[in-house]
Amino acid sequence: MGKLTIKQKLLLKELKDNGLVRLEISYSGGGDDGCIDSYGGYILDDSGKETWIQDSVPQKFQNEFDDYFYEFINENIEWDWINNDGGYGEIHLDVETGEVTIDHSQRHVEGYNYDDLESEIEKVLNGSS
Residue 62 maps to a domain: yes
Confidence (pTM): 0.79
Residue 121 exposure: Cα atoms within 13 Å on the Cβ side: 1
| Domain boundaries, position 99 | 6-125
Residue 39 maps to a domain: yes
DSSP code string of 17-68:
HTTEEEEEEEEEEEEEEEEEEEEEEEEE-TTS-EEEEGGGS-HHHHHHHHHH
DSSP 93: E
Residue 18 exposure: Cα atoms within 13 Å on the Cβ side: 16
Residue 14 maps to a domain: yes
- 107 — pLDDT class (breaks 50, 70, 90): very high
Residue 1 maps to a domain: no
Provide the CATH number for the domain around residue 92: 3.30.470
The share of the chain scoring above pLDDT 90, in percent, equals 66
Average pLDDT over residues 29-46: 92
Tens-place pLDDT, residues 51-98 = 998 778 989 999 999 999 999 999 999 889 999 899 999 999 999 999
Total domains present in the chain: 1
Whether 21 has a pLDDT exceeding 60, the answer reads: yes
pLDDT of residue 2: 67
Residue 116 maps to a domain: yes
Residue 29 maps to a domain: yes
